[in-house]
Structure 1
Amino acid sequence: MLEDMRLFSMIVEHTSLNKAAERLNLSQPALSRRIARLESELEVDLFRRIGKRLELTAAGQLTYEFALELRRFHGSYLQKLNAFKSAEAPIATIGASLTTLQTTLPALITAMTEKHPNLEIKAVTGKSHEITTLVKERKVDFGLVASSVEDDASITSLPLFDDHLILVLPRTHFILERTQFEVDDLNGLPMILFAPGTWYRTLTDQLFRRHNLKPDVRMEIDSFEAIIRLLSACRAGTLLPKSYLREQVLKDNDLYLVRIPELEETKRTTSLIHGDPAWLAPSTRYLIEETRAYFARNQTTI
């Protein structure tokens, strides 16, 4: 039926049996017989013949809409099938937790598209457990999450790098007059924090409870970039993942990193997660290895 639907849609789109037959390199009688056979199988008339002109019936219009959907799904199927024939993936869909999306994914996408100019990367964001579900349901090729998934046998976790929190302050902040810093210096400190709900904020809250700290929280924002830009204006500090704090970010915003030993204990491992290896296309396996190699090369700058 797939081929008959293709022939039928060609007639509709060329508005003429003769033109469609010519385009398909078929004789008009042969094409007429194919359409007659399709109408017989479906037990409906697809065209209303008015003189030399063909007009779709209501059933014909419905069938044409189905033919278009069939064409789209067939094209999508062939595209996905091609991934099993080549290590070069035309499209990769990556699931990323919100923190990972802001910290590590931009640089990874830049590196991968520079190496593979024809690669189209799509990103789906969500909380870590949501990304895990997408991986299990094969709605993304693989996921990047700021955790590991050890309690689900259907998920493979590959550690990429370790991350921890660092205190970030404007260079003009009065506290920088000190030469030594302790975790207690966070008590009462004006701060802008990430909105609740991510591993990063969870680590931050755990740190505060563990050391009985009560900072002066001025704002809660779900964007690292917005936090960075507001620090100087609000004369506040923040705790951000080390992976986000590239040298250029600090330079552009005139910021300073304050290293406090207790903050380095807030370690979290960012992992690549994927599902059953038997379902991975060769192109996906290749991109997974590329991703692991990328983070291995950049460990010193993360």
Structure 2
Amino acid sequence: MDLRQLRTFRSVAELGSLSKAADRLRVAQPALSRQIKLLEHELRVELFTRNGRGMVLTSAGQLLLDRTAGLVRQIEQVRDDLQSAGGTPSGRVVLGLVPTVSRVLSARFARRVIETLPDISLLVVESYGGHLVEWIHRGEMDLAITYGPSVDLHLTVETLGREDIVAVGPPGSGLKERGEVNIGWIAEQKLVLPSHSHGLRTLIERAAARKNLQLQILMEADSFRVLTSIVEEGIGFTLLPPSAVRTEVAEGRLEAATIAKPSITRELILASPADRPASVATTTISALIRSEIESIAAEGLWNIRMDN
């Protein structure tokens, strides 16, 4: 079992297809197929179920992927660091973003990486905080911007800033005229919120619990676009950072109001693995993230209070 076989195995597992993996690795498909068969022969187990739609991991294949993903990433990062020594940072960086941050940051940040760091290959993954933390622990992700608090995450974390959460409702809901609502008013409304895997849900429920209030959750939506579409249809209200709905509010498709003190505030953190050093490419991307967030905040496009 060597690194080449493991890289081939991981690519096929991720893409579910030999042909797609061959395109990614720039290796002939028969050669990849041979590597997979040799690996299966050595381990004496079938790693994939082959069918007309592609290749699906068996239980043994899933176990191998879980146990080796972090190891392969670490070896790749050693290679990248050696190539970066004394020159331009290079290598692959996997960055996770929670949806509300992705909405504000992803496109601008991707452009900046392409323009200033052409030798770094950036993979941006959007998901909820719990998933991002799990992928970092498994060694499949290098960095993630997610919600605090950072206690019990067992990761290396840096606070990027804090932002207040606002109440969001459909056009004609009266939020624009109100300008401000309190947690008691929120508890009386039918709410559309993310599920418990989302850090924002935890923040909202804790705010209600401090006032001994019970929230009326009409529906859950684990897609940012689905959630805002449901609210826009007039089905219920939600709570989000204002930066995430800036465009919809400006266009009159949604209305928003601040929350009276005690406000609901989220901490934004940059998380990375605690059990291995960051690569040169990852460190460079981390610095660029901080710089880009500062620029967006300075332009008034993100109401985030930066930590100094």
TM norm structure 2:
0.61
Residue matched to 1:65: 34
CA–CA distance in structure 1, aligned partners of residues 152 and 140 of structure 2? 20
Q: Is the 8 A contact 2:168 2:257 kept in 1?
A: yes
CA–CA distance in structure 1, aligned partners of residues 179 and 266 of structure 2? 28
2:289 equivalent to 1:291: yes
Residue matched to 1:233: 233
Give the direction of change, closer, same or farther, for the CA distance of 1:294–1:210 in structure 2 (3 Å limit): same
The 5 A counterparts of 1:38-117 are: 65-66=34-35, 81-84=82-85, 86-97=87-98, 100-101=101-102, 104-116=105-117
Q: Is the 8 A contact 1:146 1:199 kept in 2?
A: yes
Give the direction of change, closer, same or farther, for the CA distance of 1:224–1:252 in structure 2 (3 Å limit): farther
Q: Is the 8 A contact 1:158 1:273 kept in 2?
A: yes
Residue matched to 1:29: none
State the aligned residue count. 237
Residue matched to 1:20: none
Residue matched to 1:205: 205
Please, what is the CA RMSD of the aligned residues? 3.9
Secondary structure, in 3 states, of the residue corresponding to 1:293? helix
The 5 A counterparts of 1:99-178 are: 100-101=101-102, 104-116=105-117, 119-124=120-125, 128=129, 131-132=132-133, 134-135=135-136, 138-147=139-148, 149=150, 155-174=155-174, 178=178
Q: Give the AA of the match of 1:65.
A: R
2:256 equivalent to 1:257: yes
C-alpha deviation, 1:184, in angstroms = 2.0
Q: Is the 8 A contact 2:193 2:221 kept in 1?
A: yes
C-alpha deviation, 1:236, in angstroms = 2.3
CA–CA distance in structure 2, aligned partners of residues 164 and 146 of structure 1? 12
Query: How big is each residue's C-alpha offset from its partner over 1:4-27, in whole Å with a ceiling of 9 and x where there is no partner?
Result: xxxxxxxxxxxxxxxxxxxxxxxx
C-alpha deviation, 1:231, in angstroms = 1.6
1:281 to 255, 261, 279: 279
Secondary structure, in 3 states, of the residue corresponding to 1:234? coil
Query: How big is each residue's C-alpha offset from its partner over 1:87-113, in whole Å with a ceiling of 9 and x where there is no partner?
Result: 333532113446645564454334433
Query: How big is each residue's C-alpha offset from its partner over 1:28-49, in whole Å with a ceiling of 9 and x where there is no partner?
Result: xxxxxxxxxxxxxxxxxxxxxx
Residue matched to 2:23: none
C-alpha deviation, 1:271, in angstroms = 1.3
Q: Give the AA of the match of 2:288.
A: E
Q: Give the AA of the match of 2:217.
A: V
Residue matched to 2:57: none
Larger gyration radius, structure 1 or structure 2: 1
CA–CA distance in structure 1, aligned partners of residues 125 and 180 of structure 2? 42
Give the direction of change, closer, same or farther, for the CA distance of 1:150–1:89 in structure 2 (3 Å limit): farther
C-alpha deviation, 1:187, in angstroms = 3.1
Q: Is the 8 A contact 1:87 1:286 kept in 2?
A: no
Secondary structure, in 3 states, of the residue corresponding to 1:279? coil
Q: Is the 8 A contact 2:205 2:215 kept in 1?
A: no
CA–CA distance in structure 2, aligned partners of residues 68 and 88 of structure 1? 36
CA–CA distance in structure 1, aligned partners of residues 33 and 256 of structure 2? 63
C-alpha deviation, 1:175, in angstroms = 6.0
Q: Give the AA of the match of 2:250.
A: K
TM norm structure 1:
0.62
Secondary structure, in 3 states, of the residue corresponding to 1:262? coil
C-alpha deviation, 1:255, in angstroms = 1.5
C-alpha deviation, 1:203, in angstroms = 1.0
Residue matched to 1:184: 184
Q: Is the 8 A contact 2:129 2:197 kept in 1?
A: no
C-alpha deviation, 1:114, in angstroms = 4.8
CA–CA distance in structure 2, aligned partners of residues 215 and 173 of structure 1? 19
Q: Is the 8 A contact 1:157 1:272 kept in 2?
A: yes
